[in-house]
Structures are given as structure tokens and as C-alpha cells.
Amino acid sequence: MVSKTDDIPASVPNCTAVDLAEDGETPESDRTALKKPCACEHSAAAVVMNGDAGHDQAEEAESKQDGSGDADPGDDGNEQEVIVIQDTGFTVKIQAPGTEPFDLQVSPQEMVQEIHQVLMDREDTCHRTCFSLQLDGNVLDNFAELKSIEGLQEGSLLKVVEEPYTVREARIHVRHIRDLLKSLDPSDAYNGVDCNSLSFLSVFTDGDLGDSGKRKKKGSELEQIDCTPPEHILPGSKERPIVPLQPQNKDWKPLQCLKVLTMSGWNPPPGNRKMHGDLMYLSVVTVEERNVSITASTRGFYLNQSTTYTFNPKPANPSFLSHSLVELLSQISPAFKKNFTALQKKRVQRHPFERIATPFQVYSWTAPQIDHAMDCVRAEDAYTSRLGYEEHIPGQTRDWNEELQTTRELPRKNLPERLLRERAIFKVHSDFAAAATRGAMAVIDGNVMAINPGEETRMQMFIWNNIFFSLGFDVRDHYKELGGDAAAHAAPTNDLNGVRAYGAVDVEGLYTLGTVVVDYRGYRVTAQSIIPGILEREQEQSVIYGSIDFGKTVVSHPKYLELLEKTSRPLKVQRHCVLNEKDTAVELCSSVECKGIIGNDGRHYILDLLRTFPPDLNFLLVEGEELSPESQKQGFPRQHRHRLACLRQELIEAFVEHRYLLFMKMAALQLMQQKANKQSKTAALPESISAESVSDSKPTAAPEASEKASDAATQAFDSPTSSESTLTPEDTAESEAALGHETPTSESQETSATDRSAVPTVTTNGTHEPTIPDSQNGGCDSPLEGKDADDAIPGLAQAKELAESLAADDGSGIDPKSREVVLNACKAVGSISNTSFDIRFNPDIFSPGVRFPEDSAEEIQKQKQLLKDAAAFLVSCQIPSLIKDCLDHTALPMDGATLTEALHQRGFNVRYLGNVLEFVDKMPAKPQLEHVYRIGITELITRCTKHIFKTYLQGVELSALSAAVSHFLNCFLSSFPDAVAHLPADELVSRKKNKRRRNRVPGGGDNTAWASLTPSELWKSITSEALSYYHFTLQCDSADQAVEKYGLQKITLLREISVKTGIQILIKEYNFDSRHKPAFTEEDILNIFPVVKHVNPKASDAFHFFQSGQAKVQQGFLKEGCELINEALNLFNNVYGAMHVEICACLRLLARLNYIIGDHPEALSNQQKAVLMSERVLGIEHPNTIQEYMHLALYCFANGQLSTALKLLYRARYLMLLVCGEDHPEMALLDSNIGLVLHGVMEYDLSLRFLENALSINSKYHGPRSLKVALSNHLVARVYESKAEFRSALQHEKEGYTIYKNQVGEAHEKTKESSEYLKYLTQQAVALQRTMNEIYKNGSNASIMPLKFTAPSMASVLEQLNIINGIIFIPLSQKDLENLKAEVQRRQQLQDSGKAEEHQEDSQLVLDDKLPVDD
């Protein structure tokens, strides 16, 4: 834990209820708002209600107990929770031998061990590892929390006392010293080991930004800034160099402290020396070329008299006995002393975020040539601890399964417990992922013995470090009916998605296996933790639930049914019966493949979750079944490689959400109808009135005006989806007719108020992955999107109450007519219940070999229809919604990964990519989607290439790997027509060549087959793969044609393929277009890394704080929002440690808030952390990192650091050119930023190049009449004005004025501003013309009026920067602010704070990055 660095606040910002109440509101309302996220909100995520049955109070309480172990712990619980987080820190004094005492800020939750870590990191104490901390002579227990230590308080003195060494301590010491010596050496980051990764921010900011004081002067004296960007960054430049991707950091030429430090060949000490206290021997060569031999003994380190060939363990004279190796070496080598001190100074100056390990390994696809230095620890690691025993853990090998399951069982009643639990889960997961990755590589590299060595290589299975490994091949025809090897390859990722889904529901008592899927060198390896006892038994005996032969024999178990029943609602899995081999019905609550095994530890495990979600019928050909017309129009169903294609969880969520709206609309319409009928019979019977009041439970709530109702009716029946096919035309006609006679009355305020609070519980559909914006509602313009439910459709309120009351009691006391309303609505939307909305799917439909009992035939038919509807919904709603989001730039993919993420968020897989591309191709607005089309084509080509590369690599033996990879890349990207493989000139050719026996690898046939690949053959395979897998016709048969036809960049293709396959290449300029020699040689391929997929455990409480904070910010409570987000940051740090993607988002938002509130230095410091973290966790050229660089540049500019701001913007532009090229809507924003800053430093010509490029990109992607174009024109005009070229300025400003006039009207302030500016420009132009005429007339003695040419003020430039970056400051007086707050507060009480979850998500954030300036 690095909680000691100043960057991570040690104490939590104080946000108690009382604090907020000072604004003069009632503390009551505030306190509830505050407590909500702590105690109750987490249950919203864990308790997943499906639809509005969620209002059934009894049910809710019950599911709270199983969902999150928390049945609302009453008020006191909440109070205590808020307080617990806020233990304040205190200061203790530390006294270490040979240093002055110093102060250290600590917090009561910390363990003593964390102080140890801090001391081992501090510059003056970093060389100590073997010591204890003592308070008044008592040794402190390393694992005790500080608050549990008696007598430890503010100002206590802790003494650092040196302890005797043991062998383990001595090894830890040597390892630590090695780490200190290597601390600035980036080779670990390039080699992708020990969770190191690269960061280059400091190269552009000259060290830390925090000390802006020193650099303030530089900023204001403009002359010193060199603003010319490198040639390749200028608009229109065609070259895309790779070398600038990793600028050389001057700190990285590491200071050499020692030539060699290794374990001596005399280890281990013989018996007689052990008894003298010798622990081990080291040999060292100092920089001065002195060879010494060192003994590590229990008392410390000293020189002995051994040499390389004679063993003499006696102490040398002098022996320089020192407790620390550093002290010893400093005495014998002056160069060591000097360089080690300098090195530590530099190490400590680096930002902590450059040094902390990331939770999961990030690999770099490029690296420079690194010298391979001698390193004893690395060498030792390669042979010992890495093969399964890690010396820092008692009991040597870790029992992964036990660790993974025990952390899940930790209590989770209150916040501190949940934090502890989530932290443990996260830690074990990241350790497990790292171990599994290492193991998978060892398996493929041939370092692990198989447990069934007799079988052929593809069938082998392995156990290493208590992890079970299997290869992704179809063993024993297990997947024969499902698509053989293709199915075996897809199954592990499906299984992983299943594990993720069950893990997110988190039901107590149900366990899944730790699962990691690793793709390495063309093989897919699944790593799983091992169920205790499974290896001793036959599989048939141990499976007590599910089927091991895809449904031929099926068994069930009551306990499993009970556990799985709890997951069935959140995962939308329907309980159903299937027939076993004896034709008896067996009840299941999952797919048949899902197996239940009770381990020897008594835990209930489920595994093989590959069919957790129902099949995707668009990719499943079934005899005799017809898909809905929407699917058929798009050419579905299609033949896919395997029969395991299933719908994504996100799609199911969106579909259910969409059906729920439909359900509500229908119920509302029918209620309106009934009302209308009743009111037309004027002589209403008293009973019917009483019935009505029951059904309404609010007699005052009468329906609204008729035109509104008919309006709603058309709305309800317009939305273009397949689901309407379930409504009969008569229905529609009838309801339209009935709506004709309605008496307009006003709806009572009361209903809408009480009702609003109901909305969130209905629509939040619990298990949403946090990254999915919840309001994306199936893309059909549903009237409910973003608005309050009841404002949209009259009668909805009653419908909802009716639905609730039906669910609450068994429907007794509700008149039959209303019940019928719900029944009809349920039937129409395919709900499995007749009294409430509840849609679930049967995952076994269309599974080969699964048979259903006769009596459920009707049920099965319904399920089939539901699946067809879902498949149609995907094609007719979700794909268009993605395209729509791309058109209005709410979705802005920049590379393959971000495009894939956009697809996944909307619930469909990349196998639909061909469809998406065709859809874009046919759009009239295709030019505005060109960037999406280009990224899509790049993704499609590189994915096809990856498929081919996978099988290509399987036939290559290890010694030819680099030659084979470079040959493949040449065929893929080089213009050289006849790429010939360099068969490795064998470095070790033996005389008797014919006797050489090749070492076979799994699946290896003729091992030189790879060499015969040619470019034309490869591109043929790519186009045929595109056709068969994506059903898309690529019109290119070479790399050059692809570049030509689709406007791709070879460098982008290279990046995409390298990232996807784990290739690491040498960073140098490649000449792809030479027709005389191939671009790559085997020396250019440095490494192949694994590509790893695993579950990402979430910090739920922190996330809720984050969401509530975002909601507060949206409502304008910046201060409260800021406090909540700070709180979230603390909790995130608590769970994830200091480095994580979500912390990155948190810091970015915090920086933005600081900036808006006006705290620029704080904004700068938070954004700097966000950039560093994004580089380290996502990668140095990830689209997110590019965005973070842009934000940081803005805050730098605001802080007066102009040259830094420019450097950062140039870096962002370079990265963006590399990742997606110049033609991208985001490039316009970047260029406007650069142009504005250049304008500010009076580089007018350069500025114009960037601004005019931005103008042309904006008019291409936003249309020539967009407000963005108007703004671009205005920015260009301002630069022309500064250059005194008034004619051009006038021309651009007129363009802008016309757009404003047409779009927002004469009266709008923007139009007025523009017209003022036009007048001013005209005056200036006239004045200039007069002066010129004067000069012409009178020659040199003309009296010249001085003209005003002003450089723009920094303030005006900053104002424009804020506008283009979507940051809007609202100038309000204090009084206005108060009123606004009070008003928002009042509304806030009406809509319960649960609303937050509805529209809450990064991409919808009002203040977030992509706020369009247009609307």
C-alpha cells in the first residue's frame, strides 16, 4: 500500500451530514441523501429485481438478505458506517539508526507492516529490510492494526531496531537491493514482468508538474517558447514514424553502481560454516573492477577470503561487517557510494505512480533493443520460485481455490467489512491471473509435465502451482456436434463470461472456479483453480447437477436448484424441465452443460458455464424454424463456425428493459380505455367506484387530457421493433377508438411525486456492468428515455401502481378488470408470470441433444418466440442505435478496442461487425461515419489475420519463431511482392545433418510449412476469412490495395495485429512501401506475449459513491459532488490499491471539478495522476490516454505553463495519428486546442494550419451547418484578425454568423456576439484601407494612424479553450446560486436519490468529456 505518498489523501474529506446542513437546509433531508450510498445503495446492485416485481416489499427484503447479506441494517448501522470511514490520521516519530528522527503520517486502519514498506521506500532508510519497530522497548507485531496497539498515539516515538538475519531475510535483502539498483531501469516494463509498465508523461512535463512555481516565469515570457512541432505532427503530413512513440527518457541511462552482483558458486554453506552463522555467499565485481566475495551471516554482511576457485570463508581483514549490504559496498567502492546515492535521489523524485506496480500486467507492443544484464535474482527466479513456490508465503504453494473461495465467504454486513472483502477478492484475483498467465506460458513453452503424458499433445492436461491447465482443442470429440475445434476455442471465453456473471450476482453458498483464458503462441489455454477432491474421483460420480454429455444424461439436486433460483432473476434464467435418458423430467435452473459438484470442502461449485446466456439465433441455423422478418432482411440466420454463439448479458438487459417499457405502455393504454368506458356510462354504480379506488389506490388520480393520451397511443405503437408483432391489429384499433372520449382533468401532483420514487427501482436492472450507460434503452426512441416516466405517458402512473399492488398481495382485492389489463400486457410482452412483468430465458432452447417434456410444449414455443424477438431486437434496434450514437458522436471509437467496447456495451458481439459495416455503407450519411467505417475495416482485417496467424504459429517450432513471425508480418504489410522466408540459418548446424531430430510441439506437422506463405496467398485467406466469418466482402488482395481502397494506415494495422496477437517488435522506422526488400527481419521481432482474459472484480460501494457524486454534479451541487467523489476515490484506493482504470476515471472527474470550481493547481495535480495511471494501466497509446493528455494540456494552459501545454497537445496528436490517422472527428477538437494555444503565443501561421484543418474536419463530420463549424470559423477569423488580414477574417466570420442565424435565430446571444464582431472587423478593415490609401497618396510623409494589432489576451484564449472542450462556467450571483440550489434540492426530494443510477454513467455525464457544444 502506498498510502504514504502525499498524493493519496490519508484522511477522508469530511462529509458528515451535519456538515452539509450548514447551507441552511434541513439536516434531515441531507442526512438521508448521504446515507443512501453507504448503506442501502449497494443492495441495489446486489439485489437484482427484474422489472417492477421489485416493489414487492417482502421479496425485496428477502433478496437483500441473500443478495448482499444485508437486510437494511437500520439507522444506527448507517450512522456508524459514515463515521467508520473517517478515522483521522495521526503522526508518529520514527528513529532509525544513523538518521535524524522524522515524522510520519499514519492512519489507524494501517498495519505495522505498511510502515515497514514506507521505510523500505524512503531515500534515507531504503537499504534496510531486516528490522523491527519498537515502542518503549516492545516489538510491534507486523500484522497488527495501528489502532489495536496500546500506547501508540500522536507523537509516539517508534525505534527502528536491526534484527538478526535468517536465510529468508538475507535473500529478501539481496532482492530488495537488486530492486533499488534497477529502480530506474525500464527493462522490466518492456519485458512485461512483475506488473511494471511504461509511462512517458514526465518526458513532456520535465518532471513533476506540481512544482509549477519554478516554471511559472517561463510561461509568461513568451519569447522563450519553441512552438514548432516536429514535421510529422503537422496537418496533412503523410509520414507516421514509430520511434517517437517511446521517447528516450534521459533518466533511463542508468547509473552503474556495480558491474556484477550474483550468488556465489560456493552456496549453500557447508555444515561447519552454517554453525558459524553463514547463510549464503555472494560474489561482486565493483565498478573499479575489484572482485570480492561476501558472506551473508546472521549478524550482517562481511568480506570473506574466498576467490572464484578457492573456498576460504574466514573474514577478510578488514571485514567491514555491516548490517546492510549497501553500507558494506559503500565502504569498499567509492563509485558505488556516489552513484547509489544519486540513483536513490532520482528514484524518490519520480512520481509514485510511475513506480507502483499495476494490478494486471500491461504489455508493450514496441520496445527498443535492451542490453541483457547479469541479474542473479532474475536468474534464480526463473528456476525456483516461478515454478510454483513463492517464498513470501508460508506453506509454499498457494492453494488458489481455497484463497479464492475464502475471500468470497468474508462477511459483508457493513461498509468496512465489504471493503475488506472486496479488497481481498481483488488481490487474490490479480495474483491468480498473474500465476495462471505464467503457468500457461510454461505449459506452451514445454516446461510443465502433463498429467496424462501418454496421450497425444493436443489432449494433454497440466497441473502447475495448484492450477489446472487445458488446451483449447476438441478433445475426445466432446464438441463434435457443436463445431469441433472452433467450438472448443469459443467455449472458454463463454465460460469466462458465465463466471463473470455469476460472480457479479454473488450469491452466498454458490461457488465458481477462478478462471483465466490465455492465448499464447497460437494456442488457447484455460487455467482454472482446482475443486478439492475432483482429481481423485471419476467425473460421473462427482457431478450431482447438470449433464456431462450435453443433455443425454441429466441429474438435478434440490440444494443447487435453491442456490441457482437466487441467480435466476438477475441473470434472467428460466427454471425449466428437460428429459433425461429414461424420459423422466428433470428440473434445472441453468443450462444442461452447467455442472454442479460438491467439493471435499463441502462447497457447492458450478462449472462449465458456457451457456449461461441463451443462444443467438441469428447465428444458429435450426431446421424448420423461421426468424422474424427483421432478421431475415439482414440475411440471418447465418452459418457460424460453431453452435455456441450466445446473446450477451448487456443485450438481455437492454431487451428486457425495452419490453418493460412496452409492458407499461400497454397497461397504461388499457387503463385509459377502461376509464374512458367507465366515464362514458354516466350512471356509474357505486361498486365500480369503490373498485376503481382500489385499483388506483388514489381516487384523485384521474386520467389526463385526451389529446395527450392519443398521442401516447401513437407513441406506443410507433416504436420500430419486432416486439410489436405480438400485438394484434384489433387491439390497436380498439384502444385508439376508446381513447376518443376522455374527460380532461388534471392529474394530482401527489401521484407523480410518490410515483417518481418508484421509477428507479423498476428500471435499474441490477447486474448492469458499471460501464454500461443504463439509459441506453434499446435505441428505440422510447418516450421514457431520460425523462420521468410519468411525464411521458398519461396513465402510466396508474399502470405502475396497479402492477405494484398486484405483486404485493396475491392480487386479492383488485378488481378483475385491472387484473386483466396486466394479464394482457404480460401476454403481449412474453412475461413468464401473468401477474407481473418478469421475462426470463431458457438457455437450453435449440441445444442439440436436449429434449423437453410434452407438457411444456407451449412454454417452449413461447421461449422460442422470445429468442427470435431478442435476435430481431438486436438487428433492428441495437445496431441502428450504435450507428445513431456514432452519428451524433456520443460514441467515438478511436481504435479496434474502443469499437469493440462500443459494440459490447450495446449488447452484440464482434461477429456482427460485417453487418455494422454494411449498415454504415448503405447510409446516406456515410461520409459522416467514415471514421467508424475505417476503424471497422481495420478491425475486421486484423481479426481475420489473427485467426490465420493462430493456426500459422501452431506449426512453428520454437527455434524458428522470430523468423516465422517476421515472415508473416512481411506477407501481411510489406509491399515487397515476393517475401521469402529466411529459414533460420541454423546457428548450430551439426555435421551429420540427417541425424537431427526435430523436437515436435503440440500439433506440429512439417515444421517448415510456414515458410511457403506468400503475400497474395495470405491476403486471399484474409478475404475468404472475412467472407466466411463476417459475411463481408473485402475488395482488396494486398496490403497496398487495402490502404488505397479503404484509406487505412499500415502503421495502424501493425499496431492492431501486434496488440491482438501479443507480438512485440523493435522500435525503429519500418519501410513498408519498399518494393525491393521486406520491411521486417527476424531481428525485429523481440518477443511474443500472452493475451489474457480474466474477471475484473468490482468495488461496488466505491462505485456507488462515484455515481452519487456524478449525480450531484449534474444537479449543480459541485461541492457535495466533489466530496462524494473524493470519498469514492478513497474507497477505490482501499479496494484496488493505488492503480486502477476506475481510479483513473475518478481522478479525471475530480480534476474537472477542481477546474470548474477554479482550483487550477489541484486540477493539474489530479489530472497528472489520471494521465500517469492511464498510461500505466491502459497503455501509452490507448485512446483514453490520448484524451487524458488533452485535459492535462488545458489545465497546464490555465496554470500558465504554455510550453508544457503545447508539448502535451503535440504528444496527443502524434498518438492519435498513430492510432487512427488524421481523419477523425476527435482530431478537430485536438487541432482547435493546438490552434488556440498557438494563437495565444502569437504563432499565427502555425495556428492557422491547425484551425483550418479543424474547420474542415468539423464540417465533414458535423455537417456544414453545425454550430461546431460556426465556432471553428470564428476561431479562424480571430487569427486572421491578429494577422490583420481582415478580408479573410470577415469571410470566415460571415460563414459563422449565417450558421448562427439559421440555427439559433437572430435573438440568440451567439448570433449577436457574431454580428458585433463582424461590425468590429469591418471597422478595422476600413481603417486599414484608409491608412493604405494615405500611404499611396502621400508617399513617405504620410501621417499614419497607429493601427491596433493586439495579441489575444491569455484570458480570451482560455475562454475559447473552455468553450471547445465543453466546460461551461455559469456566471451567477451568489443569490442566484442559492436559489438554484434550493430549487434543485426541492426537486431532488421529489425524485428519490435512487434516480442517480438511471442515467448515470460516464458517457452521459453533463460535465464529461464529450459535452457537445451544439445543442
Look at residue 825 in the predicted model and tell me its pLDDT.
Answer: 86
What is the predicted pLDDT for the residue at 1382?
A: 62
- The region of weakest confidence among 84-93, 219-228, 1183-1192, 1300-1309 is 219-228
Cell numbers for 961, please give them: 519463431
pLDDT higher than 90, residue 790: no
Confidence of residue 808 (pLDDT cuts 50, 70, 90): low
Inform me whether the pLDDT recorded for 448 exceeds 60. yes
Vertex 142 angle, CA 141 and 144, to 5°: 65
pLDDT at 469: 96
Task: Give the residue-averaged pLDDT of 799-805.
Answer: 66
Q: Is the pLDDT of residue 1388 over 60?
A: no
Is the pLDDT at 1177 greater than 80, yes or no? yes
Residue 676: band (very low, low, confident or very high) from pLDDT cuts 50, 70, 90: confident
Q: Which range among 441-450, 680-689, 706-715, 989-998 shows the weakest confidence by mean pLDDT?
A: 706-715
- Find the mean pLDDT for residues 189-204: 89
Rounded distance between C-alpha atoms, residue 558 and residue 549, angstroms? 21
Lowest mean pLDDT among 28-37, 280-289, 517-526: 28-37
pLDDT greater than 90 at residue 427: yes
Q: 252-261, 460-469, 736-745, 857-866: lowest mean pLDDT where?
A: 736-745
Is 1406's pLDDT higher than 70? no
Whether residue 146 has pLDDT greater than 90: no
pLDDT of 299 higher than 80: yes
Angle between helices 1141-1157 and 1183-1198 (to 10 degrees): 20
Residue 433 burial (10 A CB sphere; 0-12, 13-18, 19+)? buried
Report the pLDDT averaged over residues 1133-1162: 92
pLDDT (average), residues 899-914: 95
Asked if pLDDT for residue 686 goes beyond 50, the answer is no
> Counting runs of H as helices and runs of E as strands, what totals does the chain give?
52, 23
pLDDT of residue 468: 95
Q: Confirm if 1066 and 1086 have CB atoms less than 8 A apart.
A: yes
Tell me which residue has cell 384499433.
Answer: 733
Is the predicted pLDDT of residue 1149 greater than 90, yes or no? yes
pLDDT the model gives residue 87: 55
pLDDT of the residue at 721? 38
pLDDT band at 107 (very low <50, low <70, confident <90, very high): confident
Mean pLDDT of 1366-1371: 68
Q: What is the mean pLDDT of residues 452-471?
A: 91
53 band by pLDDT with thresholds 50, 70 and 90: very low
Which of 539-543, 670-674, 983-987 reaches the highest mean pLDDT? 670-674
pLDDT cut 90: percent of the chain above it: 51
- Give the per-residue pLDDT at 1397: 37
Contact 1346, 1324 (CB under 8 A): no
Distance CA 573, CA 743 (A): 44
Q: Look at residue 1342 in the predicted model and tell me its pLDDT.
A: 58
Closest CA to 935 of 920, 925, 950: 920
Q: How far is CA 793 from the centre of its chain?
A: 36
Q: Give pLDDT, residue 829.
A: 86
Please give the angle made by the CA atoms of 97, 99 and 105, to the nearest 5 degrees: 100
Please give the average per-residue pLDDT across 177-196, as a whole number: 87
**pLDDT mean over 6-22:** 35
Q: Which of 390-404, 445-459, 1224-1238, 1248-1262 has the lowest mean pLDDT?
A: 390-404
Q: What is the pLDDT of residue 990?
A: 44
Distance CA 938, CA 790 (A): 45
Q: What is the pLDDT of residue 255?
A: 77
pLDDT for res 397: 75
User: Which pLDDT score is estimated for 1003?
Assistant: 43
> In the prediction, which pLDDT does 1340 show?
64
Mean pLDDT within 25-31: 35
Rounded average pLDDT over 866-894? 94
- What pLDDT digit, counting tens, does each position of 279-290 carry? 999 999 999 999
Per-residue H/E/C for 936-988: HHHHHHHHHHHHHHHHHHHCCCHHHHHHHHHHHHHHHHCCCCCCCCCCCCCCC
Question: What does the alpha-carbon distance between residue 628 and residue 779 come to, in Å, rounded to a whole number?
Answer: 19
- Report whether pLDDT(888) > 60: yes
At residue 1319 the predicted structure's pLDDT band, cuts being 50, 70 and 90, is very high
* Percent of the chain residues topping a pLDDT of 70: 75
Least confident of 55-64, 1041-1050, 1263-1272: 55-64
> In which band, very low, low, confident or very high, does the pLDDT at 1355 lie, cut at 50, 70 and 90?
confident
Q: Is the pLDDT of residue 278 over 50?
A: yes
C-alpha 1263/C-alpha 851 separation (Å) is 56
Residue with cell string 422510447: 782
Look over the chain and give the mean of its residue pLDDT values, rounded to a whole number.
Answer: 79
Backbone phi, psi, residue 1263, to 5°: 85, 145
Does residue 84 contact residue 874 with C-beta atoms inside 8 Å? no
pLDDT at 1386: 57
Q: Is it true that the peptide bond before 37 is cis, omega within 30 degrees of 0?
A: no
Q: Which residue has the higher pLDDT, 1345 or 170?
A: 170
The residue that leads in pLDDT, 813 or 1026, is 1026
Using H for helix, E for strand and C for coil, what is the string for 1020-1063? HHHHHHHHHHHCCCCCCCCHHHHHHHHCCCHHHHHHHHHHHHCE
Confidence of residue 1129 (pLDDT cuts 50, 70, 90): very high
